[in-house]
A = this chain, B = another copy of it.
Amino acid sequence: MNYTIKQVSEKTHLKPHVLRYYEREGLLPFVDRSESGIRRYSEEDLEWLSLICCLKNTGMAIKQIREFVELSLQGKETLKERCSMLIVHKKEVENQIAGLQKYLCKVDHKITYFTDQYEKYLDEKCEIGAVSHGSD
């Protein structure tokens, strides 16, 4: 089964020009073409795209994804190297998550603090309102 660029665009939520851009940047080489030069994506291409998105959305730069793809094209001799790359990246993602969780705590504390402040503020307004009403 083959897919047009539009179909792939809908599946991956990447716009057609982004798919072309990725191809141009060496992230997805050897996409098949029809006689008239129109891209025909295979299931394998879709799987590649899925991994590419995974790496990209976890912060890997396109440059480095290209390096990974180039290694893949060189065959099984690069399996170990690719594995190392992924292990390093995994640690980076874990660090990202840990960092975000720490910041999440901080945001949470701020929310609590602001909520308290807001209640105090409402109380103050209420008191002033009561006093000014009493002094009528």
Q: How large is the interface on A (under 10, 10 to 19, 20 to 34, 35 or more residues)?
A: 20 to 34
The answer to whether A90 and B107 have CB atoms under 8 Å apart is: yes
Does A89 sit at the interface, judged by CB under 8 A?
yes
Q: How many copies does the complex hold?
A: 2
Is the contact region of chain A dominated by helix, strand, or loop, or is it mixed? helix
The answer to whether B86 and A93 have CB atoms under 8 Å apart is: no
Which residues of the other chain, B, contact A100 by a CB distance below 8 angstroms?
58, 93, 96-97, 100
Q: Which residues 108-136 of A have a CB within 8 angstroms of B?
A: 108, 110-111, 114-115, 117-118, 121
> With A57-B99, A100-B97 given, is the CB distance from A107 to B79 under 8 Å?
no
Q: Which residues 39-63 of A have a CB within 8 angstroms of B?
A: 51, 54-55, 57-58
